[in-house]
């Protein structure tokens, strides 16, 4: 896999460089304000290096899940503005992805200039299962540049036109962010220092069961919190009230507990409320006593203590998924406590997942306490599962 430094050594002054970046930041629905610009910041090293070297930079990115057609709600306009502020230069936004306006604006770029294309998912072809459809969009994207840099780590597990097909059409290298993420993931998978502890939370068990299966033989401890713990608690025979529960996964969780129960650590207590609301009155109960009419929305203090103690002697930690609904103040303590314990680990600590990374920042925790905060949840989980990621495979040759 060729690196950005290889490309810079070749010289990029005056060359048109298409960068696929991951600028998929959370945006407030009503104000359209960016609530966490972590992914934009993470894309700066590659963009800045290319500007400094005199490249004419065309950036492709997606935002949210528009339905394959232009939708102002998912416009990259706020991202163009923030990217411009951070780079200290005006970043114009093309009105389309790779149409007339994109071509016209790309043609006027001077050395060191940066153009942002409109949300690539405004084109249905971007995510199409049909190779020819994706290929046609990739042709148009490739026509905007002489060389392709993939820096969108959060999208490398997708076989999308701007991630996969375009790399087949242009000379290609991995950007700085992709290189850094890969470096850390390699350290997690190749002979990690032990004890190796994985902490999983978040909302959907079914999304993460495959990674649990793949990781269980490799880890010393797997701590499970967040919404996904209730399917495991149900598998142990506990009533979980109205908490998140994936009935069809209970059997799989039961099998995992039977096979590797000694390595799976579940919560001892949970913070419950009658409704999903910041105003609801909360009660903390043991996992044996979750009231039938309530939802578990955070792990309790005894769980934080247990998870903290389990993390105490860890030398390698991977954490994905908040321990509770950290977006609401009454349910933040579990995520805060476990995040602090992960940050205090004497060794390599990696935070993976968009919401987990956002939680670290929103709770005001020290980002520097972590060895690495990954920008890609799905991508890092699939990598740890041992799956081939299309966006990386295509860079390899």
Q: Any idea which residues carry the catalytic annotation?
A: 39, 204, 354, 378
Question: Which partner from the list ligand ADP, Mg ion, none does 320 bind, CB cut-off 5 to 8 Å by kind?
Answer: ligand ADP
In angstroms, the CA 210 to CA 224 distance is 14
Contacts of 86 (CB under 8 A, 6+ apart): 37, 40, 41, 44
Q: Is 372 left (phi over 0), alpha (psi -120 to 50) or beta?
A: beta
Residue closer to Mg ion (CB basis): 56 or 157: 157
Give the residue at shortest CB distance from Mg ion.
355
Tell which one of 175, 195, 227, 391 touches ligand ADP (CB under 6 A): 227
Question: Is there binding between residue 356 and ligand ADP (CB under 6 A)?
Answer: yes
Closest contact distance (angstroms) between CB of 34 and ligand ADP is: 17
Residue closer to ligand ADP (CB basis): 38 or 377: 377
Residues 121, 68: contact at Cβ < 8 Å? yes
Q: Between 355 and 384, how does the x/- string for binding to Mg ion read (CB under 5 A)?
A: x-----------------------------
Question: Is there binding between residue 170 and ligand ADP (CB under 6 A)?
Answer: no
In angstroms, the CA 218 to CA 326 distance is 29
Q: Between 307 and 326, how does the x/- string for binding to ligand ADP read (CB under 6 A)?
A: -------------xxx-xx-
Reduce the DSSP state of residue 156 to 3 states and report it.
Answer: coil
Tell which one of 173, 234, 245, 297 touches ligand ADP (CB under 6 A): 297
Q: Between 318 and 357, how does the x/- string for binding to Mg ion read (CB under 5 A)?
A: ------------------------------------xx--
Residues 40, 79: contact at Cβ < 8 Å? yes
In angstroms, the CA 222 to CA 291 distance is 26
Residue closer to Mg ion (CB basis): 66 or 154: 154
Closest contact distance (angstroms) between CB of 135 and Mg ion is: 30
Tell me the sheet residues that pair with 334: none
The DSSP line for 60-87 is: E---S---SS--GGG-SHHHHHHHHHHH
Distance of CA 141 to the CA centre of its chain: 24
Closest by CA to 354, choosing from 82, 153, 71, is: 153
The annotation status of 85 as a binding-site residue, yes or no, is: no
In angstroms, the CA 355 to CA 326 distance is 9
In angstroms, the CA 302 to CA 269 distance is 6
Closest contact distance (angstroms) between CB of 157 and ligand ADP is: 13
Reduce the DSSP state of residue 315 to 3 states and report it.
Answer: coil
- Residue 109 is classified by DSSP as P
The annotation status of 158 as a binding-site residue, yes or no, is: yes
The annotation status of 62 as a binding-site residue, yes or no, is: yes
The annotation status of 356 as a binding-site residue, yes or no, is: yes
Question: Is there binding between residue 353 and ligand ADP (CB under 6 A)?
Answer: yes
Closest contact distance (angstroms) between CB of 377 and Mg ion is: 6
The annotation status of 119 as a binding-site residue, yes or no, is: no
Six-digit token string for 389? 């990621």
Count of residues of this chain found to bind ligand ADP when the rule CB under 6 A is applied: 20
Closest contact distance (angstroms) between CB of 202 and ligand ADP is: 2
Closest contact distance (angstroms) between CB of 134 and ligand ADP is: 26
The annotation status of 63 as a binding-site residue, yes or no, is: yes
Question: Is there binding between residue 226 and Mg ion (CB under 5 A)?
Answer: no
Which long-range contacts (C-beta less than 8 Å, at least 24 apart) are formed by 39-44? 39/154, 39/354, 39/375, 40/79, 40/82, 40/83, 40/86, 41/86, 42/177, 42/375, 43/19, 43/83, 43/151, 43/175, 43/177, 44/86, 44/87
Interacting residues with Mg ion (CB under 5 A): 354-355
Instruction: List binding-site positions for ATP.
Output: 208, 296, 327, 353-356
Q: Which residues contact ligand ADP by CB under 6 A?
A: 201-204, 226-227, 244, 296-297, 320-322, 324-325, 327, 353-356, 377
Pick out the residues of the known binding site for (2R)-3-phosphoglycerate: 39, 121, 158
């Amino acid at each position: 896999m060729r690196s950005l430094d290889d490309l810079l050594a070749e010289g990029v002054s005056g060359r048109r460089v298409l960068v696929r970046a991951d600028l998929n930041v959370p945006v407030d629905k009503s104000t359209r304000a960016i609530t966490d610009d972590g992914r934009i910041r993470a894309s700066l090293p590659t963009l800045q290096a290319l500007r400094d070297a005199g490249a004419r930079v065309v950036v492709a990115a997606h935002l949210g899940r528009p339905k394959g057609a232009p939708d102002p709600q998912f416009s990259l306009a706020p991202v163009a503005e923030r990217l411009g502020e951070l780079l200290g230069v005006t970043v114009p936004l093309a009105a389309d992805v790779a149409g007339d306006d994109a071509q016209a604006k790309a043609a006027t770029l001077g050395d060191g200039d940066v153009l942002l294309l409109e949300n690539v998912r405004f084109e249905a072809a971007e995510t199409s299962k049909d190779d020819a459809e994706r290929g046609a969009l990739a042709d148009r994207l490739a026509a905007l540049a002489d060389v392709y840099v993939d820096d969108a780590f959060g999208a490398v597990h997708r076989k999308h036109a701007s991630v996969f097909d375009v790399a087949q059409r242009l000379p290609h290298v991995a950007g700085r962010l992709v290189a850094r993420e890969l470096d850390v993931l390699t350290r997690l998978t190749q002979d990690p220092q032990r004890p190796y502890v994985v902490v999983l939370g978040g909302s959907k068990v079914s999304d993460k069961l495959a990674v649990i299966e793949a990781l269980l033989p490799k880890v010393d401890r797997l701590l499970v919190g967040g919404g996904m713990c209730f399917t495991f608690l149900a598998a142990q025979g506990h009533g979980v009230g109205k908490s998140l529960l994936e009935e069809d996964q209970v059997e799989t969780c039961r099998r995992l507990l039977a096979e590797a129960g000694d390595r799976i650590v579940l919560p001892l207590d949970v913070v419950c409320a009658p409704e999903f609301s910041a105003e609801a009155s909360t009660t903390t109960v043991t996992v044996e006593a979750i009231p039938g009419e309530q939802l578990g929305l955070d792990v309790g203090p005894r769980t934080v203590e247990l998870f903290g103690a389990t993390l105490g002697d860890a030398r390698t930690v991977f954490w994905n998924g908040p321990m509770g609904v950290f977006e609401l103040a009454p349910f933040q303590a579990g995520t805060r406590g476990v995040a602090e314990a992960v940050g205090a680990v004497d060794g390599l600590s990696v935070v993976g997942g968009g919401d987990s990374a956002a939680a670290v920042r929103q709770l005001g925790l020290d980002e520097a306490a972590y060895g690495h905060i990954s920008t890609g949840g799905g991508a890092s989980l699939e990598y740890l599962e041992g799956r081939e990621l299309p966006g990386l495979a295509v860079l390899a040759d």
